């Protein structure tokens, strides 16, 4: 099984609460290992938070009530207590 497929399956089936990339020895002349580690870290972050972003369906546009001309620039509902 390819490593990224395995990692994605782990993140889908388990509640991963942390991860660490160890044993990286940066090299001044060759940055490929640094780039690979950063790419792997990014992939794991996307596997962890991909479902949450889809569930929230967050849109950074403003809600505009065109009849009254008011905007709601918060994604939270205002309480009227």
- What's the Cα-to-Cα distance from 14 to each of 30, 48, 53, 61, rounded to whole Å? 35, 10, 17, 33
Length of the chain equals 81
pTM above 0.75, yes or no: no
Nearest in space to 3 (alpha carbons), one of 30, 43, 32, 38: 43
pLDDT tens digits for range 4-60:
899 999 999 999 999 888 888 888 899 888 898 999 999 999 999 876 655 455 444
Q: Is the four-CA dihedral 72, 57, 51, 23 of positive or negative sign?
A: negative
Confirm if 66 and 74 have CB atoms less than 8 A apart. Answer: no
């Amino acid at each position: 099984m390819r490593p990224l497929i395995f990692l994605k399956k782990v993140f889908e089936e388990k509640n991963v609460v942390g991860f660490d990339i160890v044993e990286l020895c940066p090299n001044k002349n060759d940055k490929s290992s640094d780039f690979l580690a950063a790419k792997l870290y990014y992939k794991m972050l996307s596997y962890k938070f991909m479902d949450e972003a889809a569930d929230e369906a967050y849109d950074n546009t403003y809600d505009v009530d065109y009849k009254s001309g008011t905007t709601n620039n918060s994604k939270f509902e205002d309480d009227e207590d």
